[in-house]
Amino acid sequence: MNNTQKVSTKTLKKITLVAYFSLLIYMPLWLIVLSDSSALSAPLTLIMFVLPLLLPIKGLVQGNPYTYAWSNFIVMIYFLHSLTTLWVSADEKLWALAELLLATIMFIAASYYAKYRGQELGLSIRK
């Protein structure tokens, strides 16, 4: 365990948390306030797009590498939503690109954080 890896995990944690909280704020803002389509009601939108993001909040803030790893499954929902929106809705391409960027940043940073922090803690994957 060297100093660059310690700095690296701290930086990766910060990047992940910034992307996570940005996604948590951005999704309801986009789908309720900024979007001009009224296909979904506000309560349904909040349940569908905010509730899954709230599941890993405790473990992410605490820095649990296991939570960082499994939270990527949740982030894939937003990744796929953004790709689908890019494909079907020309009016919301900019909003979908922002969601795609946040989801991608969180996915990559969380993956590397889980890997490096797990190594620091001596965790291993069972075969």
Q: What is the reported pLDDT for 123?
A: 84
Domain of 113 in residue numbering reads as: 3-121
Q: What is the reported pLDDT for 44?
A: 82
- The C-alpha atoms of residue 95 and residue 92 are separated, in whole angstroms, by 5
Q: What residue type is 123 in one-letter code?
A: L
Instruction: From residue 8, give the alpha-carbon distance in Å to each of 3, 30, 109, 111.
Output: 8, 32, 10, 13
Higher pLDDT, 122 or 14: 14
Count other Cβ atoms within 10 Å, centred on residue 47: 12
Residue (of 41, 13, 26, 33) closest to 81 by Cα position = 26
Q: Which residue has the tokens 């900019």?
A: 94
Q: Is residue 54 part of a domain?
A: yes
90's tokens: 């020309």
Q: Is residue 126 part of a domain?
A: no
Is the pLDDT confidence value at 51 over 70? Answer: yes
Q: Is residue 107 part of a domain?
A: yes
Please give the tally of structural domains in the chain.
Answer: 1
Dump pLDDT digits (tens) for 11-34: 999 999 999 999 999 998 888 887
Is the pLDDT confidence value at 127 over 80? Answer: no
Q: Is residue 47 part of a domain?
A: yes
Half-sphere exposure of 56 (CA within 13 A, CB side): 23
Q: What is the reported pLDDT for 2?
A: 56
Dump pLDDT digits (tens) for 75-109: 999 999 999 999 998 888 999 999 999 999 999 99
Residue (of 16, 118, 12, 14) closest to 74 by Cα position = 16
Q: What is the reported pLDDT for 36?
A: 66
Q: Is residue 127 part of a domain?
A: no
Averaged pLDDT of the chain? 88
- Whole-model pTM: value is 0.87
